[in-house]
Chains A and B, each alone.
Chain A
Amino acid sequence: MEHTSILERLLRAAALTVIVVFFMFPIVWILLMSVQTNATILSDPPTLAFTPTLSNYTALITGQLDTQAGSLNIEFMQNLGNSAILSVCSVVVALLLGVPAAYAFARHRFRGSEDIAFTLLSFRFAPPLLVVLPLSLYFQDIGLADTYIGLIWVYQLICLPLILWIVRGYFEDISPDIEHAYRISGHSWLATFRKIALPLAGPGIAAAGLLAFIFAWNNFVFALVLASADKQPVTVGALAFVTASGIQYGQIAAAIVLAIAPTLALAIYAQRYLVEGLSLGAVKG
């Protein structure tokens, strides 16, 4: 591979440029739109000669939207808060449930362990609506309709299998000998798990938790079916906002930017963990 010709290098560079432009353009363009006034956005042809304005963001943050039909109250910040509550709580619950279970699956072969593990994995293959639509009919009866708790429980559909599979892989990579030695020197089982296994699998648990957070944040269909307006995360809120605000395109763009910023920032900040979690979860799972 050392003898690359000039032509080949040029072709490679050209191909990479096209790829980067294709994948980055929408994000950059929405960012640009979010700091433009509607007048700039509607100018034909599209122009890059404009003075950036933060008015779209201030409108969203204060919740006061001026339309031709008068002023409109929007709850977009509440959607952001809902997304944060739902994602963080779902990941915490999934870690509390999933990490011990992953440890059990990695260290013990017990009757039914494979069945449980496989059932959990198979949820990844079941259509989400298959589970969520019947729930919408009887959430009312069990008092979970339109509560954060009900939603967080449903979010376990995404978070738990992910954490279980990735963390199990990490536990399996740790040699049990260290734990065994620690046990022999008289420590309890729980101390071994806390002092040895958890710290060693720490990076893996972090990777799994991050991925689960991003998947939870990005989820759309659960809340669309089960949540009323005041519990909706940004994914559903943004769609409602598009229909409600009509032609306030700058504000729609700003709303989208605010909605995708957290996951993109996380992705950039913790990219190594993410790549590890993604590849391991997929290759081993």
Chain B
Amino acid sequence: MTVTTPEAAAAPRRRRRVGPKLLPYLLSLPALLVCIGILIPFFTSVFYSLQRYRLSQPWARQMNWGENYLNLLSDPSFWNTLKVSLSYTVLTVGVELVLGLGIALLLQKRTKLNNFLSITLLLPLMTAPALAALMWKLMTNPNFGVLSYFAGVVGLENFKWASSPDTALFTVVLVDVWVYTPFIMILLLAGLRSLPRQPFEAAALDGVPRTFVFWRITLPMLMPYILTASLFRMLESIQQFDILYAMTQGGPGDTLTVFQVEAYLNFFQSTNVGRSAALLLILWAITFVISNSFIKNWLRLREKARGET
């Protein structure tokens, strides 16, 4: 398995002109066209978000500038959306990081069994999230679901999983953890296996306690990988739609109306295009801020990690 180490990635790229000047532009033209084709709907969304636009009242369509945003900010349901989205993100990414790191450490040695297990654990990640939600829906069905039965066995009679407001969030987080933990595991395993061996050999020779090695050597060296993995997961998690929609369509009540689900319902149920677009743009702004701050930190950390090795 080849994983580029930070050093290799930072190696200076040689610049050679292999063709006429126009060629690179020609080659990247299709990609550029697709770019433009995607930017158009994006700006359309920005435009819609500044309008009073309901599909049910096309005659009343007009510019209202920031009104959609102001209405959102004074609406408790928006703050509920923000709260649910953030709790979902923090819970899923937190649990997946700890679990993924733990599994990666367990499978670190390159043995046949470990390689086999890491492939096996990849399967949930290859399952479509929407279908994974349906699988768990079947397993948590109150009448015949095997998990409902197990809950009863351990004394949780009438455990309602996703159909009760108290446990709905727990249930979808569980599905998300099931699907996406392998992603973090794979990244961190690649990271662990590409770390230089000398510091660990030296520590073993000196008889440094293992917990100390973990906190002071392994973790700091893994940090760039951990940051990359959590960035990817955070961006996906705060935008999660498939699992929540397939499981409960945002219910029960409004317990699971995360950003994208809320925007979808606003668009198709209340046909309020302006409000839906405003919600999505706020979500986009949040992801933009998160990814930018992450990338800054990541570069700094990479410098640091390189400085130490």
Judge if B9 is at the interface, Cβ distance under 8 Å.
yes
Q: Which residue of A lies closest to B200 (CB)?
A: A1
B269 to chain A, nearest CB (A): 13
Determine whether the beta carbon of B130 is less than 8 Å from that of A100: no
Q: Which of A157, A179, A234, A266 contacts B18 (CB 8 A)?
A: A179
Q: Give the shortest distance, in Å, between A217 (CB) and chain B (any CB).
A: 7
* CB-defined contacts of A126 to chain B, threshold 8 Å: 42, 284, 287
Q: Quick check: A256 and B134 within 8 Å, CB to CB?
A: yes
A27→B121 CA distance, assembly (Å): 11
Q: Is B277 an interface residue (CB 8 A)?
A: yes
CB distance from A175 to the nearest CB of B (A): 8
Residues of B near A46 (CB, < 8 A) are 144, 146, 149
* A-contact 0/1 string along B238-264, CB 8 Å cutoff: 010110011000000000000110011
B60 in contact (CB, < 8 A) = no
Query: B3-20 CB contact bits vs A (8 Å, 1 = yes)?
Result: 110001100011111111
Q: Are B187 and A239 in contact (CB under 8 A)?
A: no
* A101 and B106 form a contact (CB under 8 A): no
Q: Chain B contacts of A278 at CB under 8 A?
A: 183, 186-187
Cβ distance A161 to chain B, nearest Cβ, rounded Å: 9
Asked if A135 and B41 make an inter-chain contact with CB atoms under 8 angstroms apart, the answer reads: yes
Answer yes or no: A116 CB below 8 A from chain B CBs: yes
Number of interface residues of A (CB under 8 A): 101
Question: In the bound complex, what is the Cα–Cα distance between A110 and B15 (angstroms)?
Answer: 10
Q: In whole Å, how far is A238's beta carbon from the nearest beta carbon of chain B? A: 6
Question: B4 to A157, Cβ gap below 8 A?
Answer: no
Q: Which residue of B lies closest to A126 (CB)?
A: B284
Query: Would you call A130 and B27 a contact (CB within 8 A)?
Result: no
Given contacts A1-B204, A45-B149, A129-B241, contact A279 B187 (CB under 8 A): yes
Q: When chains A and B are docked, how far (Å) is the Cα of A275 from the Cα of B107?
A: 14
B35 at the interface (CB under 8 A from A): yes
Besides the contacts A116-B35, A127-B284, A137-B273, what 13 more A-B pairs have beta carbons closer than 8 Å?
A: A19-B106, A26-B178, A27-B124, A43-B144, A104-B23, A108-B15, A108-B24, A135-B41, A153-B37, A169-B4, A263-B128, A268-B119, A274-B122
- The 27 sampled A-B contact pairs (Cβ below 8 Å) are A26-B178, A27-B135, A33-B138, A96-B30, A105-B28, A108-B23, A113-B24, A119-B35, A130-B45, A153-B37, A156-B34, A179-B18, A189-B23, A218-B126, A221-B260, A235-B131, A235-B242, A242-B134, A252-B134, A256-B134, A256-B138, A259-B128, A267-B122, A268-B123, A274-B126, A278-B183, A283-B4
